[in-house]
Chains A and B, each alone.
Chain A
């Protein structure tokens, strides 16, 4: 049995504003000829314009959606409307679900099993490789076979990664691109940032793309925004220094500890295959979903969802992308706690992760959601003091100085108009009135995104332990 979500939580799943308002119109009891919930699945038949009603169904544990309507938006207004009614207590609990619902649930379970088997296979393969390649120690200098643009799926990382191969064609291109970049940066500093060559950045970024260093190219192309800031000379120097650091670190990656070298490669733009990550060691925990932020860039929308594990204390970021107008992954609901296995992308301060498996599906070891009155999980997550949080961030930056974002849960902090517990807020997050209102000048627990430019509040929990999205 899953505790009902709040209306905010439901609406946050909508792909856009139009869907939100459409969903509210659909969320009227009169439009649904039959609806019910089994506790983990909500379903209903919604009258549309045609003769046949649309069959909509939501598996709350993911959540996952299905609807027979032709909408290309996802979740569609019917699924959302259904959830809104459920959130408002307008859907009653039924003993058995109709056949079309159970069929869907079973099909999904089947698919999940197949997926798991696939990952298991990769894992097994890796284990086999690891045992066979045990002899060659570092294995880092191993010459890789054909290393293409997206190709990292070949050899496993731990057992002589092609990512590390110094001789590959790609590394040659990247090395050339980055050494040009190093020279360019030196020139900039010699000639002075006052003549900051904005027009050059675009060309530079393009050349870095050609050099197959898309990560660095991205940083360079964002410099235009930095130039627009009030304190741009200092900011630009910061960015130049970090780019410089990355280029130097890449050049000397053989001298770096393995994890740090992985970080450098990721930052430069060497991708890691999803299967690789999924096959890595899993961290099982109760993960509090702290909040999320969507960002549009180059006609691509990215969604960041931040989590923290209750037992492990680990921070995680689940990143997903979708072309503009296409649905984003909506399976992680802010304010809920999930029991899941996460696997992390390699790096010195690993943050980005994938949900490898969820264990909160069946009713047997169900995890309670939302305000969790009485449940062993739910409600306000554990937090740390600002001092401890800063220690953590400093530790993270010590491992990965390019870190731009880190989720924290601050406990016992008093939010103000431009700071929380004494830590400054991001300029765009000033005057967090909802947070201030919930706190009333008294200490609260608040989940935030740490950024070098200040904190961005994500979620807080009120007196009743209800998650309030900020």
Chain B
């Protein structure tokens, strides 16, 4: 008898798990229409979550965490970062938009997932489903190689590639992301991009001579460049970087390579997020980005090379412009 009861209870719990899930999914939809605090001054009352579509320890993650720490001080509620990595960021974007749009879930994003949509790598409507709120930083990309690589700069690299076609590949963090676009725009079909899912493995493969080049952010490889295990071939920027150690690194702009993509990281919100929450978040974010802690961090990470902060209006304009550019460059013909 006991057995039967237990079995029934167990099955009931499983069924409830199913039913419970179904319910939340369907009730999430009408919620945004009935937001109560639409007109009144918005006050964040509980934990805010920022979804980071890239893994722990990377540039995006560090940005999100530093920003969260600074924002926490401005808002007085906990701000936590939730990493949802995968598929060049699309997984995390998709996840963020599947959460209730109640003003307590925000998303850290870069143009990479947008590019994935434009190239047709994903069917997910990144452009239509998320909206820029504030830009936090505008990082740059650099091209690195192992210290043993037979080339030291762009010219030597191109000579080597001409002499040994197909022998040099460039590791990128996602083939559909901006890193891949950097390689595509700079080298066309001369250098092929190879996708990695973990930055740690990419860096190890460069130092271990398994892959000839890698597109990375300066901060992620600072330790390896300092120790001499990696050398910087060029930076994908208009002007030379002003950080120490980069005095002799050529910039794309001065050697006539038109490839300036770099992750502009900012906060996004999903459709349906209450207007009050967006305004309150923007105001607090401006103070958080201007705070001493955030700025000091930005300097050590080399994020002071390009202006970072953009408010909602400016960021929206830049995001739309990026979209037009991507469609023109990479759009499905």
Q: Decide whether A and B assemble into one complex.
A: no
